[in-house]
């Protein structure tokens, strides 16, 4: 049977058919779940090592959460895994955000973490709230946090918080962890790491993460979680270590991600097969 007419038709496939196929394969694993386990990449292992080193130092961490509703599916599992790890180790953490829409969700995550780990606000963790003019505030926090955050998210003066008496500037933290769906890690490198030299550990979306590999290579970023798959890898590490009881949403999403990638590859293969067969047919027709 001559498959060329079929392939030619497939190469001009209406994009709505592509959309439908993607929709089916993304939904399928939620209806019929299957287990997938991702082998941690070098970047994920570097993230884990850097975070462990920071926790082991005994000094507080600064965690900057910069993702909004759009990227919750990809970034929330990452943040929850990091929260589980730092609070299980009884590490003290100062939280901040530079995008207004992250404040409310972060409050909810912290409330849940407080209940789960028995935390005391002001001693175990502080949420400084939303800081505007991100680049300028990052640069300023390197020398004096209190000048940019006079009170925390709850309206309490910074000086009245026990944890903030220890953390006056970024020199007082073991590391800055930035979980961001935008390009803020780059600003942390420019306005934080370059002038003040602290450790920067980053969790980013898969699209943005490729921008940070150069910084990872030079050591300006100490570790990188690159997207949902890396979040699944990190969840696996924490499950093996006994920090997390079971896999989280990132691992559950691996099935959809993998099937979607396979479908895209299949469509690319079909498109190219049709292209080459069409070219061969045209060449044959052109021969005298």
Partner 1 sequence: MKRALGYRVPAALLLVLGLFMAIQYYIPHPIVQAPKELILQWKQPINAYIIFLALGGLVAMHVRRVVRRRERWGYSVLTLAAAAAMTFLGLAYGIQDDTVFADWFAYLVTPIEATMFSLLAFFVASAAFRAFRARTVGATILLVSAAIVMLGMIPTVQDAIPPLGDAAQFLLKYPNTAAKRAIMVGVALGAISVSLKAIFGIDKTILSKGG
Partner 2 sequence: MRASLAVLGLVLALSTSAAAAAAPVASAAGKRDGEARGWFDSKRAVNLGAVVVFAGLFLWFVRTGRKGRPLYLRPIAGLSAIDDAVGRAAEMGRPILYAPGLSSVTEPVTVASMGVLGRVAERAARLHTRVKVPNYDPLTYPVAQEIVRRAFAKVGRADEFQPDDVSYLTSRSFTYAAAVAGMMTRERTASNFFVGHFFSEYLILAETGVATGAVQIGGTDSVAQLPFVITTCDHTMIGEEVFAAAALVGDDPVSRSTIRAHDWFKLLIFAFVILGAGLKLAIDAGALAWTLDGLGVDGAQRVIARITAALYGG
Residue numbers at the binding site for partner 2 (CB under 8 A): 15, 70-71, 143, 171, 181-183, 205, 207-208, 210-211, 219
> What span, in angstroms and rounded, lies between the C-alpha atoms of 236 and 37?
7
Select 13 or 243, whichever has its Cβ closest to partner 2: 13
Select 77 or 140, whichever has its Cβ closest to partner 1: 140
> What span, in angstroms and rounded, lies between the C-alpha atoms of 5 and 88?
61
Select 121 or 196, whichever has its Cβ closest to partner 2: 196
Selection from partner 2, partner 1, none that 281 binds (CB < 5 to 8 A by kind) is none
Residue 4's Cβ-count burial label (10 Å; 0-12, 13-18, 19+) is: middle
Alpha carbon of residue 206 to chain centroid:
8
With vertex at residue 208, the alpha carbon angle to CA 207 and CA 213, rounded to the nearest 5 degrees, is 110
**Cα→Cα distances 133→68, 140, 229, 282, Å:** 17, 10, 31, 59
Question: What DSSP line would sit under 211-273, residue for residue?
Answer: GGHHHHHHTSSSEEEEHHHHHHHHHHHHHHHTSSSS--HHHHHHHHHHHHHHHHHHHHHHHHH
Altogether, the residues listed in the chain come to a count of 288
Selection from partner 1, partner 2, none that 158 binds (CB < 5 to 8 A by kind) is none
Selection from partner 1, partner 2, none that 217 binds (CB < 5 to 8 A by kind) is partner 1
Binding site for partner 1 (CB under 8 A): 13, 15, 18-19, 21-23, 26, 36-39, 41-42, 68-73, 101, 104, 107-108, 111, 131-133, 136-137, 139-140, 143-144, 147-148, 195, 210-211, 213-214, 217, 229, 254, 257-258, 260-265, 267-268, 271-272, 275-276
In the complex, minimum distance from the CB of residue 49 to partner 2, in angstroms, rounded to a whole number = 17
Selection from partner 1, partner 2, none that 241 binds (CB < 5 to 8 A by kind) is none
Select 42 or 90, whichever has its Cβ closest to partner 1: 42
User: Between β-strands 175-180 and 223-226, what pairing exists: parallel, antiparallel or unpaired?
Assistant: unpaired
In the complex, minimum distance from the CB of residue 206 to partner 2, in angstroms, rounded to a whole number = 10
Neighbouring residues of 14: CB distance < 8 A, sequence distance ≥ 6: none
Selection from partner 1, partner 2, none that 30 binds (CB < 5 to 8 A by kind) is none
Encoding tokens for residue 3?
């498959």
Selection from partner 2, partner 1, none that 183 binds (CB < 5 to 8 A by kind) is partner 2
């Amino acid at each position: 049977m001559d498959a060329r007419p079929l392939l030619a038709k497939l190469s001009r496939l209406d994009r709505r058919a592509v959309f439908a196929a993607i929709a089916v394969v993304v939904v399928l694993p939620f209806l019929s779940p299957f287990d997938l386990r991702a082998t941690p990449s070098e970047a994920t292992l570097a993230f884990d090592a850097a975070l462990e080193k920071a926790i082991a130092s005994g000094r507080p961490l600064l965690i900057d959460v910069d993702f909004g509703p759009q990227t919750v599916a990809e970034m929330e599992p990452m943040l929850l895994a990091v929260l589980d790890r730092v609070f299980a180790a009884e590490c003290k953490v100062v939280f901040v955000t530079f995008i207004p829409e992250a404040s409310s969700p972060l409050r909810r995550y912290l409330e849940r973490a407080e209940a789960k780990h028995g935390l005391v606000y002001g001693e175990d963790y502080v949420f400084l709230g939303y800081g505007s003019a991100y680049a300028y505030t990052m640069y300023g926090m390197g020398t004096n946090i209190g000048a940019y955050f006079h009170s925390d998210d709850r309206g309490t003066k910074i000086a009245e918080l026990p944890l903030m008496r220890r953390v006056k500037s970024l020199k007082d933290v073991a590391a800055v962890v930035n979980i961001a769906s935008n390009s803020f890690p780059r600003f942390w490198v420019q306005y934080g790491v370059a002038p003040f030299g602290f450790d920067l550990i980053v969790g980013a979306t898969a699209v943005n993460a490729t921008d940070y590999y150069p910084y990872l290579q030079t050591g300006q970023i100490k570790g990188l979680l690159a997207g949902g798959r890396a979040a699944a890898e990190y969840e696996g590490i924490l499950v093996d270590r006994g920090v997390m009881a079971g896999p989280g949403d990132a691992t559950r999403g691996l099935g959809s991600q993998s099937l979607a990638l396979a479908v895209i590859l299949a469509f690319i293969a079909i498109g190219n097969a049709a292209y080459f067969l069409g070219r061969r047919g045209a060449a044959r027709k052109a021969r005298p």
